[in-house]
Amino acid sequence: MSIALDYAEKLIAAPSVTPATGLVFDVMAQMLSPLGFEVHRFVTGEAPDGPVENLFAIRRGPAGSKHFAFAGHLDVVPPGNDWTSAPFAPEIRPSPGGDLLHGRGAVDMKGSIASMIAAAHDVPADAGTLSFIITGDEEGPAVYGTRALIDFMREHDMEPDLCLVGEPTSVNRLGDMMKIGRRGSVNIWIVVEGTQGHVAYPHLADNPLPRLVAIMAELDALVLDEGTDWFQPSNLEITDLEVGNPAHNVIPAKATARLSIRFNDIHSGASLSERVAAIAEKHGGAAKSIISGEPFLTPPGEFSRIIADAVEAETGIAPEASTTGGTSDARFLRAVCPVIEFGLCNATMHKTDEAVAVADLDVLAKIYARITKAVLAG
């Protein structure tokens, strides 16, 4: 059995539905310590979003050497029902394209973390400083995870020069895509207050629904932008409308809506929040926003070239540089250093019977080792 496969099976076998603590971090620490890593673990946060465990492991190179970091998460989404096998009992099954390892987290992202640790076996300790930035709070609110790790790194003066996040970025085959940026995300709740009353006496009531409809119509008609050289157009999506009125003859007292905006680097979360709030206020409503992350871009350059060269050397294909998809913890890490995401095929992430190609684990470990050696030698 390969090192990467062995590690992937052990990590999958440690249940870690978000927010994660305990056993799965024990397992990872036991993999890193024999390789010379100092392993730092700490728990932050309280219910309902915590507690959350985080791990920062570092193997220091010679004084003045470069510092390269792998980043990722050990928490997973709930497995759901109708799995062919137990979601936390890793199982290898044959398939027409080669053996598949099934289990929750196989691709998102315990498989990538297994390949990262396997890659560390092939990187000499004197090549430079190598670290792991690992959280148990990425699939959840992400309140007590990577941001707490960033505070820890800054407090101890251990920020990396470059960081690779192991999210499953590949689409059709391993290596066909890396993410050099991501759009930002903001969720906004709109409330319109009225006065409850009988539908036969509307002059004695104040119906909030027409005003909410007017707000939604204006928001739905917005064209935020046409996209940029590296980002697709921003989009605003209405995700919920609620009145909660069980009576057919009652004008409701309140109506609410929720919307989500994924936006490129033309905008900021604050500017979009202010724009939506102004529209809501014009029609007599109020808006409250939570900004999940700002857009970021690591422009194509030496770091992306190193990754592309490593991928092509091991797979024969050149990865597309993309900014598509949802958010990841790279949105926080970009404040520390340049960051790019690259990992396994994402077709089964969050799905029932999540699975990774066994062969891809070893190939990914070789790619990660090439990237690490090239960055540290630079």
Residues with Cβ within 8 Å of residue 109, at least 6 apart in sequence = 72, 73, 166, 167, 168, 343, 344
Contact indicator for 98, 347 with CB cutoff of 8 Å: no
CA dihedral defined by 57, 61, 67, 73, rounded to 10 degrees? -20
The residue from 9, 53, 137, 138 that is catalytic is 138
If phi > 0 it is left, if psi is from -120 to 50 it is alpha, else beta; for residue 244 that is: left
The residue from 9, 53, 75, 108 that is catalytic is 75
Cβ neighbourhood burial of 37 (10 Å; 0-12, 13-18, 19+): buried
Identify whether 9 is a catalytic site residue.
no
| Cα separation, 142 vs 49, whole angstroms | 8
Identify whether 157 is a catalytic site residue.
no
| Cα separation, 241 vs 257, whole angstroms | 4
197-222 burial, b for 16+ CB within 10 Å, e for fewer? beeeeeeebbbbbebbebbbeebeee
Q: Any idea which residue has 């465990």 for tokens? A: 53
- Enzyme catalytic residues: 75, 138
